[in-house]
């Protein structure tokens, strides 16, 4: 089976009230961990590479790893560009076998965002590739309190409906209070489900994407800190909120930080407990297993995408 787009995945996820994980990949162990977990519970997958990932691993290595994952697992897997900064980057990925791209022009004024996204959609659709775009700005509570109009960062539902209609995109990333990284909330976690609900009402059947959706599990942070790390106050999106989002219009939930935490905590622990070891396979193996455990939990307990492959 070749790499697939997200079209079929999202249709089924929307109808079934679950979400597909958009997992960030940067090297072989991360790909193995995610794919081994998904294969055990028969979940479709979106494996995504950011610009940083493509620079770090070289785009072609990541693409070949993901192609190998399809061959190895037989799962429906989409290869997605995460946060494509401009048309050229999206075009390069489309020309090189990606089946889905994100054009992130959300920091531009609305009309400019529409124009840039439209250009990507035209090129992508002509090549059988689907497009995710973003409207609104992901912000944490910290940003929130600095802004006088609190809602300025959140996605405006009416504008979202116009944006989808004018650009012809296949999915839309929205800002409802999540943010990237391991420090999402200072205090109580809060997401604007009212905004998500309005968007769902204005765009029935249309797949919504949630970025910055790691849950930053306490046990993973504790392990990092126990073995020499320093991540005080790390906090993510509670799992019940992600389940609720998945039951609504959210069809793709992006997860990177949780994988980083799993890998880092495990390697820190290994180094602390086995100071004489120096074969990378000795610590990368357990790190890969830790990623697998996180992803399996995510698929079965949060996303609801098990047995949907
Ligand atoms: O959205 C951000 C992802 O976590 C990717 O992060 O740009 O450091 O690869 P990165
Ligand atoms: P996290 O930092 O919450 O894992 O979000 C990742 C993401 O949104 C990738 O695009
Ligand atoms: Zn993101």
The two three-digit tokens of residue 138, written as one number = 């992901």
The CATH number covering residue 109 comes to 3.20.20.70
To test the ligand 2 pocket, which listed residue (174, 179, 255) has its Cβ within 8 A of the most ligand atoms?
A: 255
Mean pLDDT of 8-20: 98
pLDDT band for 137, please (50, 70, 90 cuts).
Answer: confident
**What pLDDT sits at residue 146?**
44
Using the predicted structure, report yes or no on whether residue 176 has a pLDDT greater than 80: yes
| Contact of 274 with 267, CB cutoff 8 Å | no
Mean pLDDT of 282-293: 99
To test the ligand 1 pocket, which listed residue (49, 51, 80, 83) has its Cβ within 8 A of the most ligand atoms?
A: 83
Using the predicted structure, report yes or no on whether residue 171 has a pLDDT greater than 60: yes
- Residue written as token pair 């950011």: 50
Mean pLDDT of 1-24: 97
What percent of the chain is predicted at pLDDT more than 70?
Answer: 95
The two three-digit tokens of residue 2, written as one number = 């070749």
The answer to whether residue 299 is domain-embedded is: yes
What percent of the chain is predicted at pLDDT more than 90?
Answer: 94
Using the predicted structure, report yes or no on whether residue 51 has a pLDDT greater than 90: yes
The answer to whether residue 93 is domain-embedded is: yes
Mean pLDDT of 48-67: 98
The two three-digit tokens of residue 103, written as one number = 């054009």
The gap from C-alpha 287 to its chain's centroid, in whole angstroms, comes to 20
Ligand 1 atom closest to 56 (CA): 9
Out of 8, 36, 72, 82, pick the active-site residue. Answer: 82
The answer to whether residue 31 is domain-embedded is: yes
The answer to whether residue 308 is domain-embedded is: no
Using the predicted structure, report yes or no on whether residue 159 has a pLDDT greater than 90: yes
> 32 pairs with which residues across the strands?
none
3-state class (DSSP) for residue 251: strand
| Contact of 80 with 101, CB cutoff 8 Å | yes
The answer to whether residue 309 is domain-embedded is: no
Mean pLDDT of 250-256: 99
The answer to whether residue 222 is domain-embedded is: yes
Residue nearest to atom 7 of ligand 1 (CA): 52
| Contact of 243 with 197, CB cutoff 8 Å | no
Neighbouring residues of 75: CB distance < 8 A, sequence distance ≥ 6: 35, 38, 39, 42, 43, 44, 45, 69, 309
Q: How many domains does the chain have?
A: 1
Closest C-alpha to 178, from 138, 151, 146:
138
The answer to whether residue 1 is domain-embedded is: no
pLDDT band for 138, please (50, 70, 90 cuts).
Answer: confident
Would you tell me how many other CB atoms lie within 10 Å of the CB of residue 276?
Answer: 4
pLDDT band for 152, please (50, 70, 90 cuts).
Answer: low
**Number of residues written out for the chain:** 309
In whole angstroms, give the CA distance from residue 109 to residue 188: 31
Ligand 2 atom closest to 179 (CA): 3
The predicted-structure confidence for 111-124, as pLDDT tens digits, reads as follows 999 999 999 999 99
Q: Give the residue numbers spanning the domain of 155.
A: 7-303
Using the predicted structure, report yes or no on whether residue 144 has a pLDDT greater than 50: no
> 5 CA to middle of ligand 3, Å?
19
Using the predicted structure, report yes or no on whether residue 279 has a pLDDT greater than 60: yes
| Composition of the chain by helix, strand, coil, percent to 5 | 50, 15, 35
| Contact of 262 with 283, CB cutoff 8 Å | no
What rounded mean pLDDT belongs to the chain?
95
**What pLDDT sits at residue 35?**
99
The answer to whether residue 66 is domain-embedded is: yes
Task: Give φ, ψ of 52 to 5 degrees.
Answer: -65, -40
| Contact of 117 with 105, CB cutoff 8 Å | yes
What are the helix (H) ranges across the chain? 7-16, 28-41, 51-57, 59-73, 87-95, 110-126, 141-146, 157-167, 193-202, 218-226, 239-247, 257-273, 280-297
**What pLDDT sits at residue 147?**
38
In this prediction the pTM is: 0.96
Closest C-alpha to 132, from 98, 84, 89:
84
Distances (CA, A) of 163 to 56, 114, 217: 33, 7, 34
């Amino acid at each position: 089976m070749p790499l697939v787009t997200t079209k079929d995945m999202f249709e089924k996820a929307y109808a079934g009230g679950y979400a597909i994980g958009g997992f960030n990949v940067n090297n072989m162990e991360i790909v193995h961990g995610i794919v081994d977990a998904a294969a055990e519970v028969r979940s479709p997958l979106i494996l995504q590479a950011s610009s940083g990932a493509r620079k770090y691993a070289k785009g072609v290595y990541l693409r070949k790893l993901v192609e190998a994952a399809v061959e190895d697992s037989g799962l429906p897997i989409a290869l997605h560009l995460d946060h494509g900064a401009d048309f050229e980057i999206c075009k390069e990925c489309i020309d090189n076998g990606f089946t889905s791209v994100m054009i992130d022009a959300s920091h531009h004024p609305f009309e400019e965002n529409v124009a840039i996204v439209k250009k990507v959609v035209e090129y992508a659709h002509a090549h059988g590739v689907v497009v995710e775009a973003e409207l609104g700005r992901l912000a944490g509570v910290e940003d929130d309190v600095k802004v006088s109009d609190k809602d300025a960062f959140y996605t405006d539902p009416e504008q979202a409906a116009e944006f989808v209609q004018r650009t012809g995109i296949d999915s839309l990333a929205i800002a409802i209070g999540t943010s990237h990284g391991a420090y999402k909330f200072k205090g109580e976690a809060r997401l604007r489900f009212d905004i998500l609900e309005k968007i769902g009402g204005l765009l029935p059947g249309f797949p919504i994407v949630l970025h910055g959706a790691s849950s930053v599990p306490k046990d993973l942070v504790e392990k990092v800190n126990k073995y020499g790390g320093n991540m005080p106050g790390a906090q993510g999106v509670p799992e019940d909120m992600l389940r609720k989002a998945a039951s609504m219009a959210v069809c793709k939930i992006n997860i990177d930080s949780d994988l980083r935490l799993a890998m880092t905590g495990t390697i820190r622990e290994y180094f602390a407990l086995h100071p004489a070891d120096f074969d990378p396979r000795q610590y990368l193996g357990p790190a890969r297993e830790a990623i697998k455990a996180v992803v399996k939990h995510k698929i079965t307990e949060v996303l609801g995408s098990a047995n949907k492959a």
